[in-house]
Structure formats: C-alpha cells, structure tokens
Amino acid sequence: MSTETLTPVQEAFIALVDHCTGCPDCKATPALPDKTPECPKAESLYRAWFILWRKETRR
C-alpha cells in the first residue's frame, strides 16, 4: 500500500493503529474512535490524528 495516496489524516490514523497493534498497553485497552487511549504514546498519536481530522472536516 502506497502512502502517497493517503491524506495526512489517514496517515496519522494508520500511525495510531500501527502503534496500538504492537504496544502491550494498547492491546490491553484498544483505542476506539470515541475514547482517548490511556497509553501516553497512543494518546499523542490520537491527538495528532484528531487535530488533522478536525482541520480536514472543518472547512
């Protein structure tokens, strides 16, 4: 899968999912769209995604 076709929002979301699949803490408490992750690393990735998502949805 080429990242060139992805938007920054999609890339940020994939980074979050990618982290969560390999992180023991995130496996214990999977990140959900309506829930801020408890893992600090996941939380920063989640926020980075959320900020981009807000920018793209709000025009």
Residue 6 φ/ψ, nearest 5 degrees:
-90, 145
For Zn ion, give the closer residue by CB, 7 or 44. 44
Q: Is 45 in the site for Zn ion (CB under 5 A)?
A: no
3-state secondary structure of 3: helix
Tokens of 2: 């080429």
Q: Is 39 in the site for Zn ion (CB under 5 A)?
A: yes
Interacting residue with Zn ion among 9, 16, 42, 45 (CB under 5 A): 42
Alpha helix ranges (H) inside 6-58: 8-22, 24-28, 40-57
Q: Is 9 in the site for Zn ion (CB under 5 A)?
A: no
Residue numbers at the binding site for Zn ion (CB under 5 A): 23, 25-26, 39, 41-42
